[in-house]
Structure 1
């Protein structure tokens, strides 16, 4: 149960909080700001509204793929270049790795992130 709790918490943080914050920031009117959000807003302003939405929605794929790589490495099923060895992940003293990536990707697919 701790593994599901962990995945749910990470998923919530990434999609219900972070993605919503990115979406909100990137869909604001351009103001000429030159920070990373401002530059992204300026670039998106060159697109029509449907194209802007497509780009912002693609961020969900990027977020899911990034988390998948990390969770796969923790699960011991994905080995980024140069990373050797086994990780041990626990929550409240109970080992939780092994299915984190699968559980996360299942939630992402159920949400339609890869559609």
Structure 2
């Protein structure tokens, strides 16, 4: 078995290469408020303690500051870091506590069990 290591001079080429936290695939409806105080409905498609990816039909400014609002969770300030084909990546201004991520996932499971 051969292991390869990235040289220090190399820079990551994709978002996947730059990730430091495990992402969990989700389907979460949320609200987003941008810098202009416009409100949008979005669907989060993955989540980690450091950021998320979501679907949004409206164009947003990248980079740009937003506030993400998920039912039952305190508002989450974040910065938009990329946008492509209706998918947008955001990095949370402060990492979420693992207990917050667990609460979000638990809430999703409870909703699915009720259906």
Considering the TM-score relative to the shorter chain, is it more than 0.5?
Answer: no
TM, length-normalised to structure 2: 0.24
The one of the two structures with greater contact order (alpha-carbon pairs below 8 A, sep at least 6) is 1
Q: Counting helix residues as a fraction of each chain, which structure ranks higher?
A: 1
Q: State TM-score, norm by structure 1.
A: 0.24
Higher strand share: 2
